[in-house]
Amino acid sequence: MWLIVVEFQEAFQLFDNRGDGKIHVAQIGDALRALGLNPTEADVKKFTHSYKSDERVSFEVFLPIYQQISKSRSADTVEDFMEGLRHFDKDGNGFISSAELRHLLTTLGEKLTDDEVVEQLLQGQEDSQGNVNYEEFVKLVMSG
């Protein structure tokens, strides 16, 4: 456990641009992502709303935030996301239309723009009929 904390502290220090052992509150989401979590902006705000945007926090403040977000997000598994997308698989063949997936990603949850969906997520995922294998898509997205 001690080794893991040391590794986390080293990653945290990469965001410490002043060398004072602290990072800006605005960097907490990026630091969490650097440590392998994928929090939403809402997740980050839930734990940082009491801080001023220009405030800096120490590793001792950051670590409990990491632990809380890690616990709350661990339930989000590949299977959970595939189960959600399975409802849109009308033919039961493992594919959904890219248009439908684009609509879901731009209108539900933490909304993405059309450009983000096309450029970052669907690039190379569509088959010749305009469908996406959602199992492969979810694994790709969840792997970072």
Query: What average pLDDT does the segment 58-84 reach?
Result: 82
Among 53, 73, 93, residue at a domain's last position: 73
- Same domain as 134, residue 110: yes
Does position 3 have pLDDT exceeding 80, yes or no?
Answer: no
If one counts the domains in the chain, the total is: 2
- Same domain as 57, residue 6: yes
Q: What percent of the chain is modeled with pLDDT above 90?
A: 35
Degrees, nearest 5: CA angle 75-108-52: 75
Does position 6 have pLDDT exceeding 80, yes or no?
Answer: yes
- Same domain as 8, residue 60: yes
In which band, very low, low, confident or very high, does the pLDDT at 46 lie, cut at 50, 70 and 90?
very high
Q: For residues 95 and 85, give the distance between their C-alpha atoms in angstroms, rounded to a whole number.
A: 9
Does position 1 have pLDDT exceeding 70, yes or no?
Answer: no
pTM of the model: 0.55
Cβ atoms of 57 and 23 within 8 Å: the answer is yes
Q: How confident is the model at residue 140, as a pLDDT? A: 80
Q: What percent of the chain is modeled with pLDDT above 70?
A: 92
- Same domain as 51, residue 20: yes
Token representation of residue 84: 């959600």
Query: What average pLDDT does the segment 117-123 reach?
Result: 76
Q: How confident is the model at residue 107, as a pLDDT? A: 86
Query: Which of 50, 69, 66, 89 lies closest to 15, judged by CA?
Result: 66
Query: What average pLDDT does the segment 54-62 reach?
Result: 95
Q: For residues 20 and 43, give the distance between their C-alpha atoms in angstroms, rounded to a whole number.
A: 26
The range of the structural domain enclosing residue 127 comes to 78-142
- Same domain as 52, residue 34: yes
- Same domain as 61, residue 11: yes
Domain harbouring 42, CATH code: 1.10.238.10
Q: How confident is the model at residue 57, as a pLDDT? A: 97
- Same domain as 105, residue 54: no
Query: What average pLDDT does the segment 54-63 reach?
Result: 95
Local structure of residue 57 (DSSP, 8 states) = E
Degrees, nearest 5: CA angle 51-53-41: 85
Among 73, 108, 124, residue at a domain's last position: 73
Query: What average pLDDT does the segment 37-49 reach?
Result: 88
- Same domain as 82, residue 60: no
Among 18, 50, 73, residue at a domain's last position: 73
Q: For residues 95 and 8, give the distance between their C-alpha atoms in angstroms, rounded to a whole number.
A: 38
- Same domain as 93, residue 114: yes
